[in-house]
Amino acid sequence: MDKRIKRALLTAAPALCTACSPALKDASERPNIIFFLIDDFGWTDSQVAYGEEVYPYNLRYDTPNMLRLAGKGAIMTNAYACSLSSPTRTALMTGMNSAHERITTYGALVRDTPTDAAGGTTGIINDNLDDPFARSDWNWNGLNPGDTLIDHSLQATPLARLLKDSGYFTIHVGKAHWAPAGTPGASPYNMGFTVNVAGSNAGYPRSYLSEENYGNTKELWQGNAVMNLTEYYGGDVHLTEALTREALKTLDYPIAHKEPFYLYMSHYGTHTPIQPDKRFYQKYRDRGMDDGQAKYASMCEGIDKSLGDIMDYLEKKGVADNTVIIFYADNGGHSIDTRKGGIAHTQCLPLREGKASVYEGGIREPLLVYWPGKTVGGTRLNTPVGPEDFFPTILDIAGVEDYETIQKVDGQSFANLLSKGSEYVAEQIGTVEGGASQKEANRFVIPENVSGLDPLRPIVSHMPHQWRIEDQPDIDFMDAVRVGKWKLIYRMHNVLEMKGKGLEEAIRNSVFELYDLEEDISESKDLAPAMPEKAGELARILGERLRSWNAAMPVIRSEGRTVPYPDELL
Amino acid sequence: MDKRIKRALLTAAPALCTACSPALKDASERPNIIFFLIDDFGWTDSQVAYGEEVYPYNLRYDTPNMLRLAGKGAIMTNAYACSLSSPTRTALMTGMNSAHERITTYGALVRDTPTDAAGGTTGIINDNLDDPFARSDWNWNGLNPGDTLIDHSLQATPLARLLKDSGYFTIHVGKAHWAPAGTPGASPYNMGFTVNVAGSNAGYPRSYLSEENYGNTKELWQGNAVMNLTEYYGGDVHLTEALTREALKTLDYPIAHKEPFYLYMSHYGTHTPIQPDKRFYQKYRDRGMDDGQAKYASMCEGIDKSLGDIMDYLEKKGVADNTVIIFYADNGGHSIDTRKGGIAHTQCLPLREGKASVYEGGIREPLLVYWPGKTVGGTRLNTPVGPEDFFPTILDIAGVEDYETIQKVDGQSFANLLSKGSEYVAEQIGTVEGGASQKEANRFVIPENVSGLDPLRPIVSHMPHQWRIEDQPDIDFMDAVRVGKWKLIYRMHNVLEMKGKGLEEAIRNSVFELYDLEEDISESKDLAPAMPEKAGELARILGERLRSWNAAMPVIRSEGRTVPYPDELL
């Protein structure tokens, strides 16, 4: 292991709150917040090693600024997202579990167009009548922040609106993707953002290249051309860089007016298309990567550069000490796209599968939080958190209280985990060199009376869809729940194989799989046959959660009824 | 004449400053400013009659909200713009005469692409080698607010930047069109706007219809699709309405934070394409208009509705008494586009010609200014003003002093004309019914010691280009200067007919034309043969101005030299 990396990860000197000046504390009551979100960026796509060891995969791409941030803030070792973009992005805005939102796969460009491949009577595209399942009754018109009811949409009070109403200068830069065109949710302004650059209904950029005008070219328009960046057309500026420059411009006003800002820096990168960031491409070819790998690597380093440029800018402007940075990704790395080079289903190793799957490769995420004066640099926090937890956490950090929402928020704030938890970890196992190993630190449990969060809180993932036209056996129609180190997978298709009911029959048909994530991060050894009781316990927890949210399930075509919640099989 | 209109125009009760509360005066030190700009909207396209009488043309379209604004503010009866969009829009941002800017015709979508039809060695498109003139050395890369030098661009400090730096919350909504793609001037953010909706390099919208996604359709992309409005796609919202709704949203932040705002509400309407605002179309068909006329009429009324909605919103939010509204158009109405219906060259009657021409139809503009507590409602101010005058005027109104600019500003503030001049007019000729007639009011001269502006200040128009591929004899290669009631036209092509020099030879070849605008608003009687001395006097004034600005002139192909400034012919 590279000593420099290890030091950055584990040895940052504690900046305990006893060292904070009262002035900083006062100013911190309304800190600026930057939510730095990446797309399709895998858990092992950075030099920050979230796992129990530094895997070779952590050393593929140079990400010095992610290391820099990890040295300043907390490293969340069990952070989750949904397995796809829109569910995570809407959960961030609503504080709801995506199963509760009924926004459980990616949104379309255009209204009234379900994107999932198993079709029912409402399906317009991608209907697959050969599939035994018909489409679930999900909200394919996405998140609706407006007053008008829209069929198959979720009406909710968005996070940005609450922040704006509380006085924050709210800025959206990059990818939005909460709702299709023709609905209010397509516009960041309706979500409560005062400034918007490049955000719309689009879920990916038609092009990352200014040489191609970011997709605004004189060919067939495909709805994913990136807006607001005409000044770079015909130039030589990668989209990641252009969005970064635009983001820094937007900070002029709040900094000059000493008003707190919330910057949702939502990069289109590193989603497909895989197009090189020329500043970094050749280096990776020289290291022996194939063309696709080197292109993807260059995009990752471009994102890292963006993070670093923003951190530099905050320091230059004198606001770094009052600016929280949250670094997160919206779902796991893409593991079946050939444009990334390499070998399919290996992209997220050691995690199994990738984007769209509820195996760890699809949902386990990098998460760093730097909260000046609160987080202790380089501490590792193992309490699991999910996408719905950011909503109350960010409002906590912003000091917004007594807010009202249309929706019932499912998430819990992890603000105390970040402050008290981080301090507790620093005290108990230290962060200096020679302290706890990465493995020990990752297994160190932070008690609920410190963090305010039950370490055994279930993390639920719900994917009641066929993702693509081609069947993806380890992706389509699967749910998961994690409780502590245990994880249950629910394979809905296999329910059709069951002859009768009962836990044993379900396990015999691989309806349930059980994994021990501490011993088997790759989910390779199904323990359900050996530990049916544990599997049943998690199936009950998962079923109760889904039922309480009235989660949408696919319809079994031959029977005209929905797939049962997992506890109904017991 | 409709009494209601006359009353609205002339009879609003004076709201003299003696009646203002001290509280309002204090608040007015940093008033909000809305610059409401329309595109290709003619001088007689509204019920507000700027001329000496109410022409039948003033009664074509219902514009109750323009009347409402005229009742509150001052009616500027001799306001001018450049004859084309980009020159006016850049002059608004720089305070320079467009001849001085060398931005003298409309800008292209794409960098390094001169749009004028007479081609020289640098021409890429539209070169017309049969024309005796080759392209002048103008700034076809437009206004450049950046630090990097760009060939054929004007580097200048933009108005919005100064307002932003002085504390204003600056908002851009609609059409920008200062510079082509691939240059910093394509982005409102670089001009100093904190918020931008829909502004870019585009000079017109590919479509006004949400049914056509404002041009973002799956056909060949043409670069003029309107950005940032995906929420309306597939709906039933005319672009004018969509931009109005978006503009009102942008006011949330500054109003809530009690910070002054500058809203540049720059409608794409009523530029081509002529596409109906369905809310108003049928009414005009029922009045006997042809399809094109009714479509255009509906677009005009849509703009009026936008103005009214904004005024209503300001009142609802309690900021109307501290918000200046400037209502203006960027050039004359289009008089040769068949999509507007009617008969070509008659659209701007009684004015001669229209858009692109330096005859009055191309450059004379509607201008209303409501400055609460300062302007006296319904007063008519006849001191001529040009597009370069808004820069110092707006900074005056905003209370911005001691600013620095890269450029030398040509314009003069008419803030005193609006306040003291308006008060003086109200006192001297009244605004009550039975006071001065429209004609008397229009001829009432406001002395320089009241307004700070010489009533005989020359207004210079410079159009050294061929506008389109087809020759336009009353548009291409013409200059003009107005001094008091006198106006000189300089026809550059006719210089080629001259045998030798001298004023008489020039007049004999119709190089110069002279008009008395008080007696002949239609510029139908050329007085140059009868009054050569007056023509020579104005030619000297025009020549001196152009020379002082180093104005670009076309190149006479056969001689390899530029067309002389007009006074060189004397």
The pLDDT value given to residue A8:
40
Mean pLDDT of A475-503: 96
Chain A residue closest in CA terms to B223: A216
Chain A residue closest in CA terms to B215: A221
Q: Name every chain A residue with its beta carbon within 8 A of the beta carbon of B213.
A: 181
Question: Bigger pLDDT: A551 or A135?
Answer: A551
Mean pLDDT of B429-435: 68
Minimum-distance CB partner of B233 among A169, A181, A189: A181
Q: Quick check: helix, strand or coil at residue B330? A: coil
Chain B residue closest in CA terms to A199: B228
pLDDT at A538 over 80: yes
Whether residue A231 and residue B110 make contact (CB cut-off 8 A), yes or no, is no
Q: Name every chain A residue with its beta carbon within 8 A of the beta carbon of B184.
A: 231
CA distance B226 to chain A (A): 9
Minimum-distance CB partner of B231 among A190, A220, A253: A190
B284: Cα separation from own chain's centroid: 26
Chain A residue closest in CA terms to B144: A231
The pLDDT value given to residue A349:
94
User: Please, are residues A425 and A112 in contact by the beta-carbon 8 Å criterion?
Assistant: no
Chain A residue closest in CA terms to B230: A181
Q: How confident is the model at residue A469 (pLDDT cuts 50, 70, 90)?
A: confident
The pLDDT value given to residue B128:
64
Question: Bigger pLDDT: B544 or A110?
Answer: B544
Contacts A–B by Cβ distance under 8 A? 122
CA distance B170 to chain A (A): 9
User: Please, are residues B262 and B32 in contact by the beta-carbon 8 Å criterion?
Assistant: yes
Q: Name every chain B residue with its beta carbon within 8 A of the beta carbon of A30.
A: none
Contact of B466 with chain A, judged by CB distance below 8 Å, is answered with no
Which ipTM value was assigned to this complex? 0.90
CA distance B182 to chain A (A): 4
Residue A5: phi and psi, rounded to 5, are -65, -45
Contact of B253 with chain A, judged by CB distance below 8 Å, is answered with yes
Best A218, A233, A237, A248 residue to mutate vs chain B (most B CBs within 10 Å): A233
Mean pLDDT value across chain B: 91
The pLDDT value given to residue A221:
63
Mean pLDDT of A14-39: 60
Minimum-distance CB partner of A221 among B183, B189, B221: B221
Best B196, B222, B230, B245 residue to mutate vs chain A (most A CBs within 10 Å): B230
The pLDDT value given to residue A128:
63
Residue B5: phi and psi, rounded to 5, are -65, -45
Mean pLDDT of A41-70: 96
User: What sign does the CA torsion over A220, A226, A227, A230 have?
Assistant: negative
DSSP string, A412-442: ---HHIIIIIHHHHHHHH-SSTTSS-HHHHH
Whether residue B220 and residue A223 make contact (CB cut-off 8 A), yes or no, is no
Rg (CA), chain A: 22
pLDDT at A523 over 70: yes
CA distance B153 to chain A (A): 14
Q: Name every chain B residue with its beta carbon within 8 A of the beta carbon of A221.
A: 216-221, 225
Chain B residue closest in CA terms to A169: B253
User: Please, are residues B227 and B204 in contact by the beta-carbon 8 Å criterion?
Assistant: no
Best A230, A255, A259 residue to mutate vs chain B (most B CBs within 10 Å): A230
The pLDDT value given to residue A434:
58
Whether residue A182 and residue B233 make contact (CB cut-off 8 A), yes or no, is yes
Which of A469, A392, A380, A390 shows the shortest CA–CA distance to A425? A380
Mean pLDDT of A66-78: 97
Q: Quick check: helix, strand or coil at residue A507? A: helix
Separation CA A206–CA B270 (nearest Å): 31
CA distance B247 to chain A (A): 11
A346: Cα separation from own chain's centroid: 20
Whether residue A234 and residue B185 make contact (CB cut-off 8 A), yes or no, is no
Q: Name every chain B residue with its beta carbon within 8 A of the beta carbon of A246.
A: 189
> Angle CA(A90)–CA(A93)–CA(A97) in degrees, nearest 5?
60
E strands, B127-201, where?
Answer: 133-134, 143-144, 154-155, 169-174, 195-197
The pLDDT value given to residue B129:
67
Tally of CB atoms within 10 A around A380: 26
The residues that bridge with B79 in the sheet, in sequence order, are B365, B385
Alpha helix segments (H runs only) across A228-347? 239-250, 252-256, 281-286, 291-316
CA distance A251 to chain B (A): 9
Q: What is the dihedral of CA A353, A356, A360, A365, to 10 degrees?
A: 120
The pLDDT value given to residue A24:
29
Contact of A195 with chain B, judged by CB distance below 8 Å, is answered with yes
Chain A residue closest in CA terms to B186: A231
Q: Name every chain B residue with its beta carbon within 8 A of the beta carbon of A219.
A: 220-221
Chain A segment 288-347 residues within 8 A of B by beta carbon are none
3-state helix, strand, coil in chain B (%, to 5): 35, 15, 50
Question: Bigger pLDDT: A77 or B20?
Answer: A77
Q: Name every chain B residue with its beta carbon within 8 A of the beta carbon of A164.
A: 252-253
Whether residue B223 and residue A218 make contact (CB cut-off 8 A), yes or no, is yes
The 10s digit of each residue's pLDDT in A172-228 is 999 999 999 999 999 999 999 999 999 999 999 999 999 999 999 877 666 889 999
The pLDDT value given to residue B127:
59
Name the DSSP class of B418. Answer: I
Q: Name every chain B residue with its beta carbon within 8 A of the beta carbon of A250.
A: 189, 194
Best B147, B201, B233 residue to mutate vs chain A (most A CBs within 10 Å): B233
Q: Name every chain B residue with its beta carbon within 8 A of the beta carbon of A230.
A: 181-182, 186-187, 200-201
Chain B segment 227-246 residues within 8 A of A by beta carbon are 227-235, 246
Contact of A136 with chain B, judged by CB distance below 8 Å, is answered with no
The pLDDT value given to residue B221:
63
Mean pLDDT of A96-106: 97
Separation CA A451–CA B510 (nearest Å): 88
Q: How confident is the model at residue B153 (pLDDT cuts 50, 70, 90)?
A: very high
Question: Bigger pLDDT: B8 or B502?
Answer: B502
How many C-alpha atoms does B62 have within 13 Å on its Cβ side? 11
Q: Name every chain A residue with its beta carbon within 8 A of the beta carbon of B113.
A: none
Minimum-distance CB partner of B231 among A164, A167, A184: A184
Q: Name every chain B residue with its beta carbon within 8 A of the beta carbon of A185.
A: 231
Please, what is the angle between helix B85-94 and helix B390-398, to 10°? 40
The 10s digit of each residue's pLDDT in B207-243 is 999 999 999 987 766 688 999 999 999 999 999 999 9
Minimum-distance CB partner of B183 among A164, A220, A231: A231
Best A124, A229, A231, A262 residue to mutate vs chain B (most B CBs within 10 Å): A231
Mean pLDDT of A426-436: 76
E strands, B373-466, where?
Answer: 380-381, 459-463
Contact of A113 with chain B, judged by CB distance below 8 Å, is answered with no
The pLDDT value given to residue B19:
33
Whether residue A257 and residue B228 make contact (CB cut-off 8 A), yes or no, is no
Q: Name every chain B residue with its beta carbon within 8 A of the beta carbon of A234.
A: 110-111, 181-182
Give Cα separations from A439 to A50, A431, B447 (angstroms).
Answer: 10, 13, 86
The 10s digit of each residue's pLDDT in A245-286 is 999 999 999 999 999 999 999 999 999 999 999 999 999 999
Q: Name every chain A residue with its beta carbon within 8 A of the beta carbon of B223.
A: 216, 218
DSSP string, B357-384: -SSHHHHEE-EEEE-TTTSPTT-EE-S-
Question: Bigger pLDDT: A126 or B270?
Answer: B270
